[in-house]
Structure 1
Amino acid sequence: MWFDDDGWLRADWVARMPSPNYDTRPLGTRIDTVVVHCISLPERGRSKQYIEDLFLNRLDTSLHPSFGELHGLHVSSHFLIDRDGSVTQFVSADNRAWHAGISCAMDRQNFNHFSIGIELLGDVYSPFEPAQMDRLQLLIVELKKTYPLKYILAHSDIAPGRKTDPGPFFEWKGLRKSMTYELAL
């Protein structure tokens, strides 16, 4: 497996669903950070269909009461890892996906500029599947072959008080060095 010259991962375990919700990174940006998220629609749901629909701007917000707050929202992530470990790529890793929102940490702001966003299908209330964690590690290893990744942060690390994901059940062991944001892989 490898990344094409245009930032798309070629692997039999990665599906492509290009999202319109991206733009170019600022010229000269060094992509050195992974931001880990979790997502479920509706909350505690386990279907990736609504997430795909959200990232592709085709979510019918009348299908669930909680979807109303998503009306007109344009968001994306570079990758989504399903409960079974399968991966969908929505945005080229070379481009800026709209996953971090207002963000700051480590004296840096606007993490969309220099990070790769990876969503795990799940929520902050329950553990993630071993297949997801295994695939996350493999994905990061592949990303590091092309991008100079140095840091890995939670969405909650870069948007404290606004975001809580991936939550207390996310296992950082093996992903980052103890007590730091530095990648351990």
Structure 2
Amino acid sequence: MTEIRANWLPSPHCDDRPDTPISLLVIHNISLPPGEFAQPYIKQLFLGTLDCNEHPYFSQLRGLKVSAHAVIYRTGEIDQFVDYDKRAWHAGVSSFQGRSRCNDYAIGIELEGTDTAPYTDEQYQSLAALTRMLQQQYPLITLGRIVGHNDIAPGRKTDPGVAFDWGRFRGMVQTGL
């Protein structure tokens, strides 16, 4: 199995999954403030330490308890916030193939980005490698069970957005590149 290097930063915003197998990978995007990269605020949000007075946009995040299993930054660096066997709080109200509560059986990966800003080569490389590792560990995560947040919360979410190249990503996962 390929070793994936990730910085471990345990988030308090998680809990135990119900007794159900992990069978879905959800790809998101995030930037804080929106459209700004290489800031400390994503980490702070997922760790529950974000000072909501730091930026006007953050006032709407006050009291929000959210996390993802991992974040892949523009550099390709990965921070892991929640153990993959635990339930991260990333999907919200969601449904996949008629089954609700995607957080119960999904792993959530955030890409530092926006719906319209191209993702970096380093992000695609890290995401493909992490996906292959997760597929080895959780064989129910097939290519057909890798989706965007927009797919499980249509009308409410748009990420990872039009800038995400699904063909490129899926090709990299399949070929091991």
Higher helix share: 2
Scaled by the length of structure 2, the TM-score of the pair is 0.91
Q: 2:91 aligns with which of 91, 97, 100?
A: 100
Residue of structure 2 equivalent to 1:159: 153
Residue of structure 1 equivalent to 2:37: 46
- Asked which structure has the greater RCO (Cα within 8 Å, sep 6+), the reply is 2
Residue of structure 1 equivalent to 2:166: 172
Provide the identity percentage.
Answer: 44
Structure 2 residue 17 is the aligned partner of structure 1 residue 22: no
Q: Deviations over 1:127-158 (max 9, x none)?
A: 00010011100001111111121210100111
What amino acid is aligned across from residue 6 of structure 2 in structure 1?
V
Number of equivalent positions: 171
Runs of 4+ aligned structure 1 residues displaced above 4 Å come to: 174-177
Give how far 1:32 is off.
1.0
Scaled by the length of structure 1, the TM-score of the pair is 0.87
Contact 1:21-1:75 within 8 A present in 2 as well: yes
Structure 2 residue 133 is the aligned partner of structure 1 residue 142: yes
Whole-Å Cα distance in 1 between the matches of residues 55 and 164 of structure 2?
27
What amino acid is aligned across from residue 81 of structure 1 in structure 2?
I
Contact 1:174-1:184 within 8 A present in 2 as well: no
Unaligned runs of at least 5 residues, structure 1: 3-9, 178-182
Whole-Å Cα distance in 2 between the matches of residues 34 and 184 of structure 1?
15
Contact 2:119-2:163 within 8 A present in 1 as well: yes
Relative distance call for 1:175 and 1:126 in structure 2 (3 A) is: closer
Equivalent runs, 1:43-122 vs 2, <5 Å: 43-122=34-113
SS in 1 for 2:159: coil
Whole-Å Cα distance in 2 between the matches of residues 58 and 32 of structure 1?
31
What amino acid is aligned across from residue 173 of structure 1 in structure 2?
G
